[in-house]
Amino acid sequence: MRVFGVDPGLTRCGFGVVDGGPGRVVRAVAVDVLRTPVDAPLSVRLHELYDGVCVWLDRYEPQVVAIERVFAQHNVRTAMGVAQASGVVALAAAQRNLPVEFHTPSEVKAAVTGSGRADKAQVTAMVTKLLGLKVAPKPADAADALALAICHHWRAPMRNRLEEAQARAAELARVHKAKLAEAARRSGS
Amino acid sequence: MRVFGVDPGLTRCGFGVVDGGPGRVVRAVAVDVLRTPVDAPLSVRLHELYDGVCVWLDRYEPQVVAIERVFAQHNVRTAMGVAQASGVVALAAAQRNLPVEFHTPSEVKAAVTGSGRADKAQVTAMVTKLLGLKVAPKPADAADALALAICHHWRAPMRNRLEEAQARAAELARVHKAKLAEAARRSGS
């Protein structure tokens, strides 16, 4: 499976494409940071970001897009810009019928370092190690995008197993209910 | 001038197209609310909203798009969804080279009612009156979208005059500085 990880932002947006192999093997395919001009109108910046995302989606053809979930930050204006950026990334994916999953920063940190409160240096160090890179990806947004993609690779099977278990439980409950109804019908007739 | 006002949202997104005439005359062209399925994935909802916005932009051909500026609300998740929705609306406008302006809820309320703290009923009542509508637009998101467009019509000339005044002041300062430099050069030589 190929995952496109995106650390959304207007000033710097991290892009990371990671392939998953057997077991926990992960391999970096591409990584970069897209910048949009700080002095341009917001709508123009969103347009540039959207065009950049479309180029990456069409070039690398991932099966899923993983985006960092935005939370209210210290700076409300920045948080809103990040949310708007994540919106156009999700749109570009949906236009290609690709599933989009959001992961919180602490889920991403926990997935690659074992701690949801790891700092940026620790995340970068683990991403470099897990992907077997010769140099650490820079800036932090690039490393974060790769970390997001790795997080998705490792969380997705767990999530799928959970969903399958839930579906099985729901099916068993349905069958059980039907049997009870059948028994009630017979005893009544 | 024709303004497309958007009260962004995923559950309900208000659309309102308003033409401006001489003086403070405003005329409603179209108003509606677009809904996206609550149980659909976020990216699919953003895609549906984007397609709806594109249809309206191409049908009504506004000269400018006015969007309500999102602030952190009680519910962070809702605020982020609203911000993502506003991002895809701004993108659709930018793809058509249309300028996008954001107005805060209090700017909109102040423009149509005279008070930045007016309630929804007051905004709806004034929108109905100002546009000479026979029935009040419903739901509130539809009235808000029209209010946004009216707000833009009335604030834009003021903003343009302010920008012109600032440009004139900057030019005067430049000329004055050049004269001072010239005088200093002459007295020095």
Under CATH, domain B2-188 is a member of which superfamily? Ribonuclease H-like superfamily/Ribonuclease H (3.30.420.10)
Mean pLDDT of the region B90-115: 95
In B, minimum Cα distance to A99 occurs at B43
Task: Tell me how far apart the alpha carbons of residues B63 and B166 are, in angstroms, rounded to a whole number.
Answer: 24
B94/A43 CB distance under 8 A: yes
Task: Tell me how far apart the alpha carbons of residues A137 and A128 are, in angstroms, rounded to a whole number.
Answer: 7
Long-range contact list for A174-182, CB < 8 A, 24+ apart?
none
pLDDT of residue B189: 64
Contact call for residues B50 and B91 (beta carbons, < 8 A): yes
Q: Looking at beta carbons, which residues of chain B come within 8 Å of A41?
A: 94, 99-100
pLDDT of residue A74: 59
Under CATH, domain A2-164 is a member of which superfamily? Ribonuclease H-like superfamily/Ribonuclease H (3.30.420.10)
Question: Which sign, positive or negative, has the C-alpha torsion A86, A87, A89, A93?
Answer: positive
Distance from CA of A130 to the nearest CA of B (A): 29
Tens digits of residue pLDDT in B62-76:
999 999 998 765 567
Mean pLDDT of the region B5-16: 96
Q: For the ranges A62-76, B4-18, B94-108, which has the lowest average pLDDT?
A: A62-76
With bands split at pLDDT 50, 70 and 90, how would you rate the model's confidence at B6?
A: very high
| Chain A residues interacting with chain B (CB cutoff of 8 angstroms) | 41-44, 46-47, 50, 65, 70-72, 76, 79-80, 83-88, 90-91, 93-95, 99-100, 102
pLDDT of residue A72: 60
- The strand pair at B2-7 and B64-68 is best described as parallel
Task: Tell me how far apart the alpha carbons of residues A183 and A180 are, in angstroms, rounded to a whole number.
Answer: 5
Q: Is B32 annotated as a binding residue?
A: no
Contact call for residues B4 and B109 (beta carbons, < 8 A): no
* H or E element, residue A34: strand A26-34
Of B32, B39, B61, B68, the catalytic one is: B68
Tens digits of residue pLDDT in B14-65:
999 999 988 889 999 999 999 999 999 999 999 999 999 999 999 999 999 9
Residues pairing with A34 in the sheet: A13
The identity of residue A98, as a single letter, is L
Contacts of B56 (CB under 8 A, 6+ apart): B4, B15, B17, B30
Tens digits of residue pLDDT in B136-160:
999 999 999 999 999 999 987 777 7
Binding-site residues of A for Mg(2+): 7, 68, 141
* Tokens of residue B6, six digits: 């958007």
pLDDT of residue A73: 59
Spans of chain A below 70 pLDDT: 72-75, 189
Catalytic sites of A, residue numbers: 7, 68, 141
Name the nearest CA neighbour of A139 among A38, A21, A7, A46: A7
B102/A46 CB distance under 8 A: no
In a 13 Å sphere around the CA of A186, the CA atoms on its Cβ side amount to 6
pLDDT of residue B74: 59
Distance from CA of A8 to the nearest CA of B (A): 12
Residues pairing with B20 in the sheet: B26
Q: Per-residue DSSP letters for B83-148? A: HHHHHHHHHHHHTTT--EEEE-HHHHHHHHHS-TT--HHHHHHHHHHHTT-SS--SSHHHHHHHHH
In A, minimum Cα distance to B85 occurs at A87
Q: Is B51 a catalytic residue?
A: no
Distance from CA of B106 to the nearest CA of A (A): 16
Q: Is B144 a catalytic residue?
A: no
DSSP character at residue A138:
S
In chain B, the N- to C-terminal Cα span, in Å, equals 56
Mean pLDDT, chain B, rounded, equals: 92
Mean pLDDT of the region B83-87: 96
